[in-house]
Structure 1
Amino acid sequence: MIKIAWNPLYAHPLPEGHRFPMLKYGLIPGQLLHEGTIVQENLFSPEIIDEDLILSTHSKDYWQRVRDLELSPQEQRRIGFPLNAELVERERRITQGTIDGAKFAVQNGVAFNVAGGTHHSGTNWGEGFCILNDQAVASNYLLNNNLSHSILIIDLDVHQGNGTAEIFKNESRVFTFSMHGDKNFPFRKEVSSLDVPLNDGIGDEEYLSLLEQNLQLAFAKSQPDFVFYLAGVDVLSTDKLGKLSLTKAGCKERDRLVLQYCKTKNLPLQISMGGGYSADIKDIVDAHCNTYRLAFGLFE
């Protein structure tokens, strides 16, 4: 059975001004249950991650100051919201959910985290609504427990996975592939194993052609035995922050390409949902739900 990490805390941790983007974390499982794509048994609630797993990826000083709510005002501004205990618990549950999802993916082919994709968090910093880097921590968990020996992280959020690139810059067992807006946040980019910067306004046809070419390259260079996928829907033309021009159908085809590659190659796949900031919440939820619909069609 395909498993999906979700906890009610995903949807309600942020100060009032930040509530809108968080609504999707409750609406996505609700929609999937309503339409019958999933049943309640597909969902699981992750526990709070142990500190030693966080320290496999993030520096001790950074993590302790996060845990103890001691980040400076400047560091909190870089993250994008004020730190509080509920938010730290949320991040810890999300990160554990991605680890659990990776283990479920080994068993079942694919697994999801309704949240996650916190790719702007580096070894000793948080940024862009990201405090702990869930897929980086999960990658190190797989490597450290001999559950994987070669990992490919496919990051198709509209923003570069700068934190992920920094964390794994000296780790040859993890290949980081980021396809992102060239002139979008973060404005200081890190160097991934494979970066594909995109011009503003790119549409479905050009985007999908570039993706197919670079997926082939990324798989050929990395020869992975496990894949993480960050499936942000901020590539949509309706997105307030994305600056690209993909249709919902183009975003769905993007997901199909990634999922089909992994299915054909019999590679376990963990998917975290990443960003999405369209003005109409329905566009965000439907685009994310398409990822689940495709996966359940391919892997079940």
Structure 2
Amino acid sequence: MLKIAYSTVFAHPLPVGHRFPMLKYELIPEQLLHEGLITAENLFEPEMVDEGIILWTHDAAYWKGLRDLTLSPLEERRIGLPLSERLIERCRRISQGTINACQYAIKYGVAFNAAGGTHHAGTNWGEGFCMLNDQAVAANWLLHNKLASSILIVDLDVHQGNGTAQIFENEPRVFTFSMHGANNFPYRKEKSDLDISLPDGVNGEEYLRILYDTLPNLIAQQKPDFIFYLSGVDVLATDKLGKLSLTIEECKARDRFVFEQCIKYKIPVEVSMGGGYSPQIKDIVEAHCNTFRVADELYF
């Protein structure tokens, strides 16, 4: 069964200027329900992740400042959002949703968080709308509970997963792979285990060629027993922040290839949605929904 973490809190109301990117968190499950691809049974609402679990990934002082809304103005500006109790609840539910999705992925092969992909959050910082790094928190949860011993994080958002790279820079059991725009945010990159930095304007044909050449070899070399996939759709040519040139169909082909590799090697995969900033919300929703459609087609 296709299982998807979803909460109305994911579409947390924000001040004017921040609301548009959040609309997709309401519209994606609505579209999938409308199509009949899923029913309410496919959706589950996560609780808030336990503070002890957060501290396996994030520094205590940073978490305390976030929880108590006492981060400095500079730290808050780096996050890019005005802090509130509701926002902290949101990021705690997203992290727990990714943990729960890992459990479902082990059972069913694949599972989703309808939000997540908060890969700019590092050990002791938040950045780029990311406060807790949901896939890093879940990866450490898997390791702590001995449910995985070798993890591969496949980050195909257009922005480098700098927080994820920093968190696991000294953790040999987690291999971080980020394929992203070279000239895009964050402008100070961290060092992933494998970074592929793409020049502006790379089209879908070249993008897919690189992915097809890289991912199978990476899986064969690392032999992961769990994969995290960050499936940002800001690689689209329509994306106002992305600087790459994939069509919606090429983005769908990317998702299909990742899932095919996971199936081929019998590796469970958790999917967090990542970014998408096309001017037309329908383009964002369609590209994200394709990720769910392909997974449903291949796994169920």
- The bucket for the TM-score relative to the shorter chain is over 0.9
Inter-partner Cα distance in structure 1 for 2:95 and 2:150: 20
Deviation at 1:216, TM superposition (A): 2.0
TM-score by length of 1: 0.99
SS in 2 for 1:148: coil
Letter aligned with residue 28 of structure 1 = I
Question: Where in structure 2 are the equivalents of 1:107-122 lying within 5 Å?
Answer: 107-122=107-122
Tell me the equivalent position of 1:170.
170
Question: Where in structure 2 are the equivalents of 1:211-226 lying within 5 Å?
Answer: 211-226=211-226
Inter-partner Cα distance in structure 1 for 2:241 and 2:13: 22
Question: Where in structure 2 are the equivalents of 1:76-95 lying within 5 Å?
Answer: 76-95=76-95
2:159 aligned with 1:159: yes
Tell me the equivalent position of 1:291.
291
Tell me the equivalent position of 1:6.
6
- Is the contact between residue 12 and residue 87 of structure 2 (CA under 8 Å) also seen in structure 1? no
Tell me the equivalent position of 1:265.
265
Question: Where in structure 2 are the equivalents of 1:46-125 lying within 5 Å?
Answer: 46-125=46-125
Q: 1:184 to 1:175 in 2, by over 3 A?
A: same
Tell me the equivalent position of 1:242.
242
Inter-partner Cα distance in structure 1 for 2:184 and 2:12: 27
Inter-partner Cα distance in structure 1 for 2:35 and 2:201: 33
Deviations 1:178-201, CA, capped at 9 Å, x for gaps: 000001000111110110000100
Letter aligned with residue 131 of structure 1 = M
Tell me the equivalent position of 1:28.
28
CA RMSD of aligned residues (A): 0.6
Inter-partner Cα distance in structure 1 for 2:75 and 2:220: 38
SS in 2 for 1:16: coil
Deviations 1:140-171, CA, capped at 9 Å, x for gaps: 00000000000000000000000000000000
SS in 1 for 2:17: helix
Deviation at 1:17, TM superposition (A): 1.9
Inter-partner Cα distance in structure 1 for 2:146 and 2:225: 11
Segments of structure 1 that go 5 or more residues without pairing to the other structure are none
Tell me the equivalent position of 1:146.
146
Letter aligned with residue 17 of structure 1 = G
Give aligned pairs, total.
Answer: 300
Letter aligned with residue 236 of structure 1 = L
SS in 2 for 1:128: coil
Letter aligned with residue 183 of structure 2 = K
SS in 2 for 1:119: coil
Inter-partner Cα distance in structure 1 for 2:131 and 2:84: 12
Q: Percent identity?
A: 65
